[in-house]
Amino acid sequence: MAASLDTGSTDGQEQVLANPLGGIRSNYPGPHAEISRDRNLAWWRRILPIIASHRLTFVTSIVLSFVSLVFQTLVPNMLNGAIDNALIRHSGALNSDVVHILIVGVIAGVTGIISRQYVYYTAYNVEADLRSLIYEHLTWLSFSFYDRVQSGQLISRANSDIRSVQMYSTFAPLIIVQCSIGVLAFGFMLHINAPLACIAMTIMPILYFVGIRMRRVLFPISWITQARLADVATIVDENINGVRVVKSFAQEEAEVNRLADAAERVAWAYIKDAQIRGLWSPWVQNLPQVGLALVLFFGGWMVLDGHLGIGAILSFNIYLLMLQAPFMMLGQLVMMGQRAKASAERIFEVLDESPDIVERPGAFDLVDVKGAIDFNHVRFEYANGAEILTDFDAHIEPGETVAIVGRTGSGKSTVARLVTRFYDVAGGSVCIDGNDVRDVTLPSLRANVGVVLDEPFLFSISIRDNIAYGQPDAPINDVEAAAKAANAHEFIVRLPQGYDTVVGERGYTLSGGQRQRIAIARTLLVNPPILILDDATSAIDVHVEAGIYEALGQLLRQRTTIVIAHRISTIALASRVILLDGGRVVASGTHEHLLATTPLYAEVLAQTTSGDE
């Protein structure tokens, strides 16, 4: 056992993946080991390095459990001797026998307790490692991964999958140890009386098969129960998060009915489960009694014949009771193994996914950014294959403020995502100060390009911490300055707890425009030389918006700014407008110039601004 664990661990150490984001390293120590990267290995071989990293506690628990079980098996045999010698033949000293049995019992108990502690210690550490591995990996994965998978489902599933792998990989060896003890117990029984031992053991295979059979019928129903519970959770979650929609369409009753249906389906599954258990449990519980009866019957005859002592019957009874649990669990082991395999494969699905956006070897830090941005004949498509940009060619000077205008869905946000390298271009290149964004380190790129998205995500923490998200140690003066520039300071200080107000679900509900202003402040605090505002002011009042742009201009005239907007008042702040249509730049120039020369421009403006002002 120990030898194979060792090989597993060296495998794992060779294969540790480097953090594809490079530089970022926190105090968090990370998991103890990686899974094996070799996809051809059996699932448990791939998990082995993680278990091997806890081999000290794991092996201790198994050894102690073995010791405990050996001592446990000694007891019935000693009891047999004590009864026959001390009580029946009056030849031994009862007191010393009792003391011996007590000592052996205490050793069995203490080692048992310590072994349990170590098992749980190992199990939960393995679980924690798997969880860290998955979540760490999820944070490394690129946007394209999240476009494909349902992240909510992924995370909830990850939890149950981790649990089932952990259970199997730590408890299965223990069950096997327990069963191997059966051999020892059988040896003692053979030693006491061979024919009776064989009779007593006939019940064990039956117990094993009943255990398997019961699991096999219970297994599907437990899956169904899980799935139906998840349905209920989804409905409840939707009703809580979507409560405004539910109420505004007066659909409370329909929702209650939907929930009641789902609850009924869960109840059906639970009742079915109970029925099956009800049917099988008596068998499982009473089969050992049949074994006891057999021992009493045949053993009784032997005692009457004088071939066997009374003590033997007693010790056979104890052995049988001791053996019943491991033999039943042996049946469960098969099922647990199948489930753990399926779970492990789902975990590997995530861990085997590699991020598309990784640093090149030899990537350098982007420093002293002047702010020139070149889109050189950029071609881009999302993973689903639709070509969004066919030949986007635009050049932005350092310090320039440029507006990108285009119809909804024309690819304006996509252009912004290419500058921060959330996705890679399919053709052409995006360069900052002449450096291809694929050649520079990711943290330095993202520190130099600040993006404010149209739907700002705020965390359920205080406003101060939200603004300081990119620079957690920023002094409050800087936080306030950023808030002032984003025209947010005034409304923040009017809140009951000011900058300490907690945002979000259990905190203070902010309006869309207020959230956008906090998101702008969050980006301004980092003070990036390149700023991209993607519809970032769409929910902000026109006069407040004007104030923000005024402050922006004052704060840093050298900043290169790309605004994606559709309000004429916003566009007017830009010195140049780029008109995007059909995946390419169709015109570029001042607002007035485009209005005069490009009919499409006026058309797009009319379309996108209708109903807004």
Q: Is 250 left (phi over 0), alpha (psi -120 to 50) or beta?
A: left
Residue 408 binds which entry of ligand ADP, Mg ion, none, with Cβ cut-offs from 5 to 8 Å by kind?
A: ligand ADP
3-state helix, strand, coil in the chain (%, to 5): 65, 10, 25
Residue 384 binds which entry of Mg ion, ligand ADP, none, with Cβ cut-offs from 5 to 8 Å by kind?
A: ligand ADP
Q: Closest distance between ligand ADP and the C-beta of residue 523, in Å?
A: 18
Residue 583 binds which entry of ligand ADP, Mg ion, none, with Cβ cut-offs from 5 to 8 Å by kind?
A: none
- Of residues 111 and 414, the one with the C-beta less far from ligand ADP: 414
Q: How far apart, in whole angstroms, are the C-alpha atoms of residue 506 and residue 512?
A: 17
Residue 46 binds which entry of Mg ion, ligand ADP, none, with Cβ cut-offs from 5 to 8 Å by kind?
A: none
Residue 406 binds which entry of ligand ADP, Mg ion, none, with Cβ cut-offs from 5 to 8 Å by kind?
A: ligand ADP
Q: Closest distance between Mg ion and the C-beta of residue 412, in Å?
A: 5
Q: How far apart, in whole angstroms, are the C-alpha atoms of residue 457 and residue 153?
A: 20
- Of residues 225 and 414, the one with the C-beta less far from ligand ADP: 414
Q: Closest distance between ligand ADP and the C-beta of residue 375, in Å?
A: 14
- Of residues 95 and 384, the one with the C-beta less far from ligand ADP: 384
- Of residues 389 and 479, the one with the C-beta less far from ligand ADP: 389
Q: How far apart, in whole angstroms, are the C-alpha atoms of residue 522 and residue 468?
A: 6
Q: Closest distance between ligand ADP and the C-beta of residue 411, in Å?
A: 4
Q: How far apart, in whole angstroms, are the C-alpha atoms of residue 262 and residue 267?
A: 9
Residue 411 binds which entry of ligand ADP, Mg ion, none, with Cβ cut-offs from 5 to 8 Å by kind?
A: ligand ADP
Q: Closest distance between ligand ADP and the C-beta of residue 575, in Å?
A: 21
Residue 388 binds which entry of ligand ADP, Mg ion, none, with Cβ cut-offs from 5 to 8 Å by kind?
A: ligand ADP
Residue 288, C-beta contacts closer than 8 angstroms, at least 6 positions apart: 203, 207, 320, 321, 324
Q: Closest distance between Mg ion and the C-beta of residue 534, in Å?
A: 6
Number of residues written out for the chain: 613
Residue 410 binds which entry of Mg ion, ligand ADP, none, with Cβ cut-offs from 5 to 8 Å by kind?
A: ligand ADP
- Of residues 66 and 380, the one with the C-beta less far from ligand ADP: 380
Q: 216-250 burial by CB neighbour count: b if 16+ within 10 A, else e?
A: eebeebeebbeebbbbbeebeeebeeeeeebeeee
Residue number of the CB closest to Mg ion reads: 413
The answer to whether residues 381 and 457 touch, using CB atoms and an 8 Å cutoff, is no
Q: Closest distance between ligand ADP and the C-beta of residue 537, in Å?
A: 15
Helices 43-52 and 151-192, axial angle in degrees (round to 10): 80
The answer to whether residues 463 and 501 touch, using CB atoms and an 8 Å cutoff, is yes
Q: How far apart, in whole angstroms, are the C-alpha atoms of residue 329 and residue 86?
A: 37
- Of residues 423 and 499, the one with the C-beta less far from Mg ion: 423
Partners of 431 in beta bridges: 374, 436
Q: Closest distance between ligand ADP and the C-beta of residue 403, in Å?
A: 13
Q: How far apart, in whole angstroms, are the C-alpha atoms of residue 277 and residue 225?
A: 14
Count Cβ atoms below 10 Å from residue 527 Cβ, excluding itself.
18
Half-sphere exposure of 577 (CA within 13 A, CB side): 27
> Residue numbers of the site for Mg ion (CB under 5 A)?
413
**Strands 373-381 and 560-564, sheet pairing:** unpaired
Q: Closest distance between ligand ADP and the C-beta of residue 338, in Å?
A: 36
In the numeric block, the tokens 């459990």 are attached to: 65
Residue 36 binds which entry of ligand ADP, Mg ion, none, with Cβ cut-offs from 5 to 8 Å by kind?
A: none
The answer to whether residues 487 and 551 touch, using CB atoms and an 8 Å cutoff, is yes
Residue 387 binds which entry of Mg ion, ligand ADP, none, with Cβ cut-offs from 5 to 8 Å by kind?
A: none
- Of residues 306 and 409, the one with the C-beta less far from ligand ADP: 409
Q: Closest distance between ligand ADP and the C-beta of residue 381, in Å?
A: 9
- Of residues 366 and 579, the one with the C-beta less far from ligand ADP: 579
Q: How far apart, in whole angstroms, are the C-alpha atoms of residue 20 and residue 510?
A: 36
- Of residues 433 and 535, the one with the C-beta less far from Mg ion: 535
* Selection from 397, 396, 446, 444 nearest residue 417 by Cα: 446
> Residue numbers of the site for ligand ADP (CB under 6 A)?
147, 382, 384, 388, 406, 408-414
- Of residues 278 and 409, the one with the C-beta less far from Mg ion: 409
